[in-house]
Structure 1
Amino acid sequence: MLVTVVVALVAATLGAVVGAAAVRRRAGAGPERSRGPTVAELLARLVRRSQSGIAVINRFGDVVLSNERAEALGAVVDARPAPRLAAAAEKVAAGGEACEVDLSPASHPPGSTPQTIVAHVRSLGDGFVVVDATDTSAAVRLEAVRRDFVANVGHELKTPVGALAVLAEAVLDADDPDEVAHFATRILNESHRLGALVTELISLSRLQGADRLPELVRVDVDEVLAEAIHRVRVPAEAAASAGGDDAGSDPRGRFLLDEPSGLEVAGDRTLLVTALANLLENAVAYSPEGTPVSVRRRRQGDRVEISVTDRGIGIAPEHQQRVFERFFRVDPARSRATGGTGLGLAIVKHVAANHGGEVRLWSEPGVGSTFTLRVPAAPAEDEPETPLHGLEAGLALTTAGPGTHPTPSVTGGTT
């Protein structure tokens, strides 16, 4: 039967050549015109260059047409359909309905992301079926992230909402004015925490969504640092003066700053202040009382670096990649006790990425941590502005000591 098919194809090709010659003869001896690609040639190009794996299988299980992508996705192996695909193609060729076949590899190399491959099998008639294989790994990962995010948000909102309900009942049952004041203060603290969580969720969704970063302007790094420190100090000083639960956490005097740099970056001032304030708050929250937090500003090539170093508990190597994930906490109890939402470092990462920069991390348990925000420096006044939107950016982990940052050993995109 295969020989018959080959003979038929050869005959069809010869017929096409003879027919084309006859047409040219009938056209006369006019000037020769360049002939464009035929429909068949265009279809062949379409199949070859398709991002999907395409294969045509006959009723005998032979692959009569395929592209390289079909082999890369495992739909075609050694010029034969994959075993799972062959069985499905046979059923469809015999008159069955179109079906979907999972071609995902059973295993994957250590450290790599599992691959999800789906093939759709449809009938072409006359005993032929077409296979359309697609790598859906990105969509599957996105759906998993969405489910995790919804679950995490629900969990994070449940804690303060539940606490508010319990504290409200305690206020209703309390007779002593001091008890009422105590529970009312705790209600206020929980409401502030809930408000901070909602605010950071909104900020993160804007950074990750389709909202375009506002027009970038020249931003003074020293002014950004001063505003970020002020933002960190004011709530702590207010809590200390009021004698609330956060009393004693006043970071006044804890920041050791280098000399004003005079550096400028091209960016959004509000977002940069937010990112730097999150780094400062994180350093204060995870440092022993009274230990300093150092801040250094410098220019490295075409980048401006702002490093925040603490002498705190440090981060274990297995957690260093994950601290930039939403809601990830190395010590959940400590984070909630300090009012953390688990979103601060995720916001820092996305602010850096939206500026065409990155955030780097060095940390050693028991020694401390250094987070470095790196963003493109503003061009000189006589240099043309360079668009910064859409540049490759992310986070990096380094292995050098505090305050020193060699070429990163690990880099990654937006989670």
Structure 2
Amino acid sequence: MSSERVGLMAGRKRSIRFKIFAILLVPLTALAVIWGFAATLTVQSGLELLKIQTVYDNVVVPTRTLLGDIQQERLLSAAYLGRKSSVRDELDAQRKRTDASVEELARVSQNAQDETPPAMWQRIEELIGQVRKFDALRGRVDDHGLSRLEAIEDYSAVAEVGFQAYDRLMISPDMDLIEQTKAIILIGRSREVMSQESALITGVLAIGRISPDERDAFAKMVGQRRLLYQLGTSQLDAELIKGFAAVNASPAYASFMSMENEIMVGVQPNTRLPRDADVWHTTTEGLVATFSQISGDGSKAIADRALPLAKGALYRIGIAGALGLIAVIATLFISVRFARGLTTELVGLRRAAHELADRRLPAIVQRLRRGEDVDVVAETPPIVTRGDTAEVVEVGNAFTSVQHTAVEAAVGQAELRKGVGNVFLNLARRSQSLLQRQLALLDELEQQVPDPDTMEKLFAVDHLTTRMRRHAEGLIILSGAHPGRGWRNPVSLFDVARAAVEEVEDYLRVSVVVPQGPAVIGGSVTDLVHLLAELVENATIFSPPHTQVIVRGEVVARGFAVEIEDRGLGISPEELAQLNERLADPPEFDLADSDRLGLFVVGLLARRHGVRVSLRSSPYGGTSAVVLLPKEIVVENAGDEHSVERLIPPRPPAPPVLALTPPAADAAVDTSADPAGDSLPRRVRQENLAPQLREEPRDVFGSFQAGWQRAQEES
């Protein structure tokens, strides 16, 4: 998985507290929204009921007044067009009243603009605008430029705008109020048609005859009036129908109905009407005024009904809002309380899990690595969780079981490692003992055998035995113990380097360039020889057989530095970094990782003595290992050759390819000697041979090479 994707996955992680809050937020938000929506609808309903009274006082009443003035001006205009000049003064006065009414409507309606429905307000503005343009219509009336019927139609068109404003008065959500308001509006329209009839007949009576168009228009008006009136009164409730029922039973309404029938049925076009103008005008205008009064009273009654409804709605709003708010708060309190309790339980469980994973288990593992005994029962107390959530308690019990199993497994693993280490140590000690005896036996044979060829073979076996001893010591180091060999006095670093080279199979390819003066304290000699031998052998293995491996040493500011350089293929930067990390901080030994045993042993030995080992690329393409010995283990050699212990075993003498700086490099010391002694016995090659068996050094070296090659072929 790429690092970018891991980063994205980590960025999407959320805490338990956040997720619980998100879970609770959804229903709480939905509940709050529903409560708010219901409260808003109820409040809006109450406010709309309260608007009715404001709209009635500031819009409906002045509009009804203006429509009455328009109807009266229409009536007088029709009479004036009927050649009845006596109404001129009355017509002019009515025009002034109409103008005053429209300005009053324009003024007072501003008080209710916000409460008036937009469609109704638009019709009111249109009505005001058209009335203000009556000058053109009035001029045509004054000049007799249009017929009576045309004048009635023009005035009626403007009045229609006012009634359309009434149609858009439906601002109440109460269905009963809506139905009663519609009924009053229908009756108002029928009253408007009655006014049109009055204007038409008044104009006709001025000249005494009715034209065919006027008769047809009158018949249409009668049918329309009766239909609207019947529809309106049929929808009124018992309270509002009382006034209209009284009118219906009155002699005036019966006389009006009779005159309508006489004009529609008994009067032919271009004939005189059966009654005079005074009777018609008195009867019709009286009924128009009566209907106007009753309709106004009905409108007022409807507006008055809205007030208690509004108060009741607001009262219900208060109760519902309070109960809803209490429910929301209670739900929020209970949810938050349970969420907080659950969060506390989960956080406590998480804290216990982190305590187990980050502190207790690592501490137990460290104790096991140090070899301490661990009581599984005492180290795995049950994880106690606060709260009573069954699932959390079960998870806590599961964690308790997991920690017991983990500690038990760690103890078992430690015991297994300890057992394997003991097996390694036992086998290594046995092998070391046998190899020491074998080396002692080889020393005796080397002193007794006079044959050069046999001597060379013994030297080869001796060299193999020395390498086997190093591997046995490696097992001892891996088991955590110390090798049996040790020295009391400081040993020259030159001899330490040569001893390390002598323990490598392909030692003939190694050149040693180390100064004679510096020495290392006795307690670090064995481990340092082993450390250098592992690095030198690694250099010879991973470099071509025809190349040289150089071991250099010099004094530096922080101690003594030894560099082992090969001419191999080198190591990639990534692998080099991993190896240096393992050398600086050796991990716990893994039985499955057997390919890097040498470097693991080097890391352990370096950590034991405070030595720093690092790998780097060589300018020749290979790899260089730099070993920095701290000042604490490096001393200055006193210069007395006999006071410094020699580590070079009595193996085949170093060939000429070895760059041996000191002249005494050929001197050899027996490592099976007593380490507690101040000096080791010195032995010279061919010292015990008969003179005739001794060979020249160069011939001996040739024989050694031949024997070495045979030993390699046999192995």
Please classify the TM superposition score into its range, dividing by the shorter chain length.
0.3 to 0.5
TM-score, structure 2 length as denominator?
Answer: 0.24
Q: Determine which structure has the larger strand proportion and give its number.
A: 1
TM-score, structure 1 length as denominator?
Answer: 0.39
> Which of the pair has more CA radius of gyration?
2
Q: Determine which structure has the larger helix proportion and give its number.
A: 2
